[in-house]
Structure 1
């Protein structure tokens, strides 16, 4: 009965991973289609950087925070957007980075994913391996965030907004540049309007995402902001069946999950709970695990 139960769990893990990957790709495509529809039919819904339907409007939360700090004034729509982000990130962590952000798609298209780090020492008693829920270790989480370069980039971006009196990062944000490029190309092709943005936006994207392949892992302040709340997002995290995992059950040097993960999270590491604060819920680890030992809660 035990082996049958393990096989059943394995099947669920792989199916779940495949479904998550398909749903993620569908969502990314739907975002692009919505942006194109907004341009084609002049719907006015905008882009994820500035989105609205009727009287409901949201800004990029980081852009909103920058705007409030730069103007030293309370901006209701920016505060509401930050509140929506807080609720979303406390449940789904950094899911936006895999399910809505175009930057990883561009990076993968040009085959510029960062090389994986060597897997750490296996800690088979960790919560990810046993399926147990670990209590939040605030001290360890703060130490992990302090080591993350994106946390410091976020701090620098907010300080620069205060000093300059402008939301400077919005000028170079890959998310805004991507949708700006889409809009510029649309106006070039449909309206025959040639602007400098047709060249400037793609060039900036090439520098950030193609030439520097570790943008998402080292410098992205949006990831840094989401990662702070991600430390508290305990739901929808990957779990390992230690009875079937090659590393825990047979001692094999398997690192497929770490290689498949965009963040190269090592589910066997001693600090896995802090690493999972950066999990984007992409589902690739569950999909690619050779023994289908990974499931999402």
Structure 2
């Protein structure tokens, strides 16, 4: 058997994906809040930093983009940096851009805004008002790296919105103030009122790098055409504006959030561990 499809779970399990994702996002955000508090007030330093550079005991995790920037700008290869980048890169290669959808603090804030918006508007469906070309994501990555080289400084290290969340929380605890760079995070949250994941879709260079690494990922959302009735609810639910019924969940753009799986009333979508390059829709559609 070339591909192993996870058994179709009951609909309650499908809905639990959203609960699991939100719980993990909340836990990851809570970690950013608790870390500086424990460091500063309790002297507990087992966990230090934030998701740009996170230390857990002797283990150091480094954001792949920030690490790549540092190497390109300094024109030197630091073995500790490479080791720190290894775990996030392996995770992306196997599971895709899951950091963006299951861990990133920007996603947590976006989920919170989406929940608040749905509660205020009393609408289950949301129509994006700002839609741009998907390829902007790749231009953002290339442009950010080129600009860092021109400036001679790792730009994303200082202006990474996911990193800014952790840095602002650290400043608030240690210095009782906020930095002006935090306005970027405010702008991203405001844009979420108009278009879902505007920054994540088009302008996040870290997301682009993780998407590139995870282009041939093993975990994918597979589509079962034999079960699909063409209701398009999955496309309406996708926060990145993808069309699962056209196989776009297997492209580099998909970040495996599982929202389309939750929304499908026909259970025509499911997470699948891909072990070959054969079309997944054909593989799964032929096994019952």
TM-score class, shorter: 0.7 to 0.9
Q: Deviations over 1:94-113 (max 9, x none)?
A: 11111111112323433488
Corresponding residue of 2:20: 23
Decide whether aligned partners of structure 1 residues 114 and 156 sit closer, same or farther in structure 2, where only a CA change above 3 A counts.
farther
Equivalences for residues 65-214 of structure 1 within 5 A = 65-111=68-114, 115=128, 148-187=135-174, 193-197=175-179, 200-211=180-191, 213=195, 214=198
Corresponding residue of 1:240: 223
Greater C-alpha Rg: 1
- Conserved 8 A contact 1:240-1:293: yes
Structure 2 Cα separation of the partners of residues 266 and 210 of structure 1: 25
Q: TM-score, normalised by structure 2?
A: 0.75
Decide whether aligned partners of structure 1 residues 184 and 147 sit closer, same or farther in structure 2, where only a CA change above 3 A counts.
closer
Q: TM-score, normalised by structure 1?
A: 0.73
Q: Deviations over 1:5-37 (max 9, x none)?
A: xxxx66x16344323222222221222232233
Query: Which runs of 5 or more residues in structure 1 are unaligned?
Result: 1-8, 119-145, 188-192, 248-253
Q: Deviations over 1:273-297 (max 9, x none)?
A: 5853222221111111122222111
Structure 2 Cα separation of the partners of residues 168 and 73 of structure 1: 17
Decide whether aligned partners of structure 1 residues 116 and 293 sit closer, same or farther in structure 2, where only a CA change above 3 A counts.
farther
Q: Deviations over 1:91-135 (max 9, x none)?
A: 1011111111111232343348871899xxxxxxxxxxxxxxxxx
Decide whether aligned partners of structure 1 residues 230 and 117 sit closer, same or farther in structure 2, where only a CA change above 3 A counts.
farther
Q: Cα offset for 1:196?
A: 4.5
Identify which range, 92-101 or 21-30, moves more after superposition: 21-30
Decide whether aligned partners of structure 1 residues 49 and 114 sit closer, same or farther in structure 2, where only a CA change above 3 A counts.
farther
Corresponding residue of 2:261: 286
Matched residue of 1:268: which SS? helix
Corresponding residue of 2:57: 54
Decide whether aligned partners of structure 1 residues 282 and 147 sit closer, same or farther in structure 2, where only a CA change above 3 A counts.
closer
- For the pair 1:258 / 2:258, whether they are aligned, the reply is no
- Conserved 8 A contact 1:47-1:179: yes
- Conserved 8 A contact 1:261-1:285: yes
Q: Cα offset for 1:87?
A: 1.4
Structure 2 Cα separation of the partners of residues 218 and 58 of structure 1: 25
- Conserved 8 A contact 1:13-1:294: no
Corresponding residue of 1:215: 199
- For the pair 1:36 / 2:33, whether they are aligned, the reply is yes
- Conserved 8 A contact 2:235-2:242: yes
Structure 1 Cα separation of the partners of residues 238 and 208 of structure 2: 17
Taking only aligned residues, the RMSD between alpha carbons, in angstroms, comes to: 2.7
Q: Deviations over 1:134-159 (max 9, x none)?
A: xxxxxxxxxxxx96211121111112
Q: Tell me how many residue pairs correspond in the alignment.
A: 245
